């Protein structure tokens, strides 16, 4: 298991859950980052933060601090 924030651009993984319950974690659930969903790390902004991820057909920009709440299992 790896935090979403530790993935590298181009990597794909499956959302396992969240490290803790918070308002941010609940908001990420509302945005579609739910357990069982595939997440693709697309790229970083020029200064590394935020990061862009694809969840389903949607692209989201997340701060690394927010992405660190999401636990993923990397695809091989």
Reported as a single tens digit per residue, the pLDDT across 38-68 is 999 999 999 889 999 999 999 999 999 999 9
Q: Compute the 3-state secondary structure of the chain and give helix, strand, coil in percent, each to the nearest 5.
A: 20, 40, 40
The pLDDT tens digits for 10-23 are: 999 999 999 988 99
Q: Buried b vs exposed e over 47-75: b needs ≥16 C-beta within 10 Å?
A: eeebbebebeeeebebeeebbebbbbeee
Domains of the chain: residue spans and CATH: 2-74 (2.30.30.90)
**Rounded distance, CA 53 to CA 40, Å?**
6
Q: What is the pTM of this model?
A: 0.89
Q: In angstroms, rounded to a whole number, what is the distance separating the alpha carbons of residues 65 and 5?
A: 8
């Amino acid at each position: 298991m790896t935090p979403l924030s530790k993935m590298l651009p181009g990597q794909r993984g499956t959302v396992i859950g969240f490290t803790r319950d918070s308002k941010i974690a609940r908001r990420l659930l509302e945005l579609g980052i739910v357990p069982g969903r595939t997440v693709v790390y697309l790229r970083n902004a020029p200064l590394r933060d935020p990061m862009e991820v694809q969840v389903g057909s949607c692209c989201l920009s997340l701060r690394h601090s927010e992405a660190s709440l999401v636990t993923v299992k990397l695809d091989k």
